[in-house]
Structure formats: C-alpha cells, structure tokens
Homo-oligomer: A and B are copies of this chain.
Amino acid sequence: MSTFTPNKSLQVDGWLDAIAWNEQSLVPVIAQEAGSKDVLMMAWMNRDALLETLRLGEAVYWSRSRQKLWHKGEESGHTQKVKEIRLDCDGDTILLLVEQKDGIACHTGEHSCFFMQWDSVSSNWQKISKS
C-alpha cells in the first residue's frame, strides 16, 4: 500500500540518520517498477538526492560520474514518479517503487537496465530481447 506523497517543505532531520551512508556518503538505490515489479536499475543517492526525491516525488539520484544531482529523466523525459520508498533492515539500501515514464528506464532505450542474462549453454552473458 503506497503511503507516499511528496512534501515540498520537508526538512533535514533525524530520519536521514536511519540510513547507513557509505564511506562516500552515498546509499545504493534500487528502482523497481510498481506495476510490473520489474527491477529497472540501480543508482546512488546522497542526502541531498534523497531530500529532493522526497520533496519532488520523482527520483533524484547522485551521479557519481558527473558528481552532481541527477533528476532522472531531466534530459530524456523518462522520469520516475515515486510510489513508495523502502529501507532495508540495516539501513544501507533503499528500494524505490516507481511509475516509469514511457516504460523506459535505461539510457540505451531498454525498459530495464538488466537486459544481459547469464547463459549456461555458452557460459557467457547474452543480451535478452525482452528485458
């Protein structure tokens, strides 16, 4: 059951301390499509990214390559509307349940970033046509 509504005036508070930020002050975030339950991608958040996500109601990550906040879809249009946010037992991973705009999460144009699959016959990774 979704209990999430964005809160534009949410302030930094003790709830941020429930998260076991890593040595780079980041936490891994799994994005799962709320309807299909497909795992779409994994990305990272810092405190500002999580705060922005909660304020905006859309996924905002920390881009490690560009070293800046990354409002997912800001260029592609493939935004992720947050339906639910979960935290794991030891506070070191976040799970976002999202509505994926256009159903495309991956920068390659695929639905999910997880479109390579281990193939036991060839003992190698193979692209799957439908991810």
Contacts and interface: CB of A to CB of B under 8 A. Distances in A.
Interface of A: 3-7, 10, 13-15, 18, 28, 30, 32, 36-39, 41-42, 54, 84-93, 95, 106-108, 110, 113-121, 123-126, 131
A54 B4 CA distance: 38
8 closest pairs, A vs B, by CB?
A37-B37, A85-B118, A86-B114, A88-B113, A87-B116, A42-B93, A5-B120, A89-B113
Nearest to A54: B118
B89 A10 contact: no
15 contacts: A3-B118, A3-B119, A3-B121, A4-B118, A4-B120, A30-B42, A41-B93, A42-B88, A84-B117, A86-B131, A88-B115, A88-B116, A89-B110, A89-B113, A91-B116
Contacts of A13: 123
Contacts of A120: 3-7
